Amino acid sequence: MLQIYKRFWAVNWAAQWQYRANLLMYLAYWVVSPIVFLAVWSSIARAQGDVAGLNAGDFTAYYLTLLPVDIVTASITIHILASKIQDGTVSNALLQPVHPVLTNVLVDNVAFKALQLVLFVPIWIALVLLFQPPLTYTLGSLLLSVPVLALGFLANFLLSGIITALAFWTTRVFAINEAYFILANLLGGSFVPLAILPGPLQGLARLLPMQLWLYFPTQVALNRLSAGEIALNTALLMGWLIVLFMVFRAVWNAGLKRFSAVGA
């Protein structure tokens, strides 16, 4: 099995490496929105002294940590797979004796983010020098964030797998994904640290899985959570991981049955 993953890695890394120039443009797009929110919130915090206990430096550190966290936990499954399901070319992958999503697509995701991280490191260093955030990382908090990031990525990967599998039923899967993306932006912590969301919205955001791969790992790395909060969120993450895995299996298998029935 390890041999299979290694082979998939070699193929996907080589494939992603061809698109490194495009990837740089993609990074430019994706870096602007957090920087904009960073500027808006830290200018408000500077004028008022703080917002819900967060000062300008806290906001800067938060968004600049969120950027690499987002790279590590993001999933591009829908862009790899949805069009293949729609035009039927996914049948090549289905003929292989391994689960296409849990092997090839998973490794392709990892190759993509590995390359992204390589290109992002110099950008990140430049941003840190420009904004001078008070990065409150400790060795312990960084070490702890490694398993949190890994589990968070797996959960997000499964959720994106569920959304992608909807392509077996509808051609509008990208519109569904965009609607989900808007919700995830608002409730996952990309727009604002959860503490600032108004009461009921915040309660909902804390229960939903999106914050577990955006807000939670960011706060863990910044060493801003108590041991109790870390334990609670980790338990929640494990719970969601199990639920998402079961839903993914059910949706994928049902989709496959439908796919063969159509005979595409």
Partner 1 sequence: MRRILRVISAHVRVNLQQDLAYRVDTLVNIATMMAWLGYDLASIAVLFGSAQNINGWLAGDIIVLLGVFRMLNTLMMSIVWPNTELFNRGIREGTLDYVFVMPVNSQALISIRRIQVWQVVNVFVAAALILAGIATSGTPVSLGEAVSFLVLMVSGAALIYALWIVLISLTFWFTKFDNNVSLLQALIDTGRWPASVYPMWMRLLVTFVVPIAVATTVPVQALRGELSPLEAVGYFAVGVAGFGLASLVWRAGSRRYSGASS
> What is the binding site for partner 1 (CB under 8 A)?
21-22, 25, 28-29, 32-33, 35-36, 39-40, 43-44, 47-48, 51-52, 130-131, 172, 175, 178-179, 182, 185-186, 191-192, 196-198
Tell me the closest approach of the beta carbon of residue 260 to partner 1, in angstroms: 27
By the 8 A CB rule, do 133 and 64 touch?
A: yes
By the 8 A CB rule, do 61 and 135 touch?
A: yes
Tell me the closest approach of the beta carbon of residue 262 to partner 1, in angstroms: 20
**How far, in Å, are 21, 150, 170, 188, 205 from residue 146 at the CA level?**
28, 6, 36, 19, 23
Residue 12 or 218 with smaller CB distance to partner 1: 218
Residue 8 or 63 with smaller CB distance to partner 1: 63
Residue 4 or 35 with smaller CB distance to partner 1: 35
Q: How far apart are CA 176 and CA 182, in angstroms?
A: 10
**How far, in Å, are 85, 109, 217 from residue 80 at the CA level?**
10, 9, 25
Amino acid in the structure at residue 40: V
Tell me the closest approach of the beta carbon of residue 166 to partner 1, in angstroms: 14
Tell me the closest approach of the beta carbon of residue 245 to partner 1, in angstroms: 28
Residue 44 or 119 with smaller CB distance to partner 1: 44
Phi and psi angles of residue 222, each rounded to the nearest 5 degrees, phi first: -80, 0
Residue 33 or 91 with smaller CB distance to partner 1: 33
Residue 53 or 263 with smaller CB distance to partner 1: 53
3-state secondary structure of 99: coil
Tokens (6 digits) for 217: 């790992």
Place of tokens 């399901």: 85
Tell me the closest approach of the beta carbon of residue 189 to partner 1, in angstroms: 12
Tell me the closest approach of the beta carbon of residue 126 to partner 1, in angstroms: 11
Cβ density class 200-209: b for 16+ within 10 Å, e for less:
eeeeebbeeb
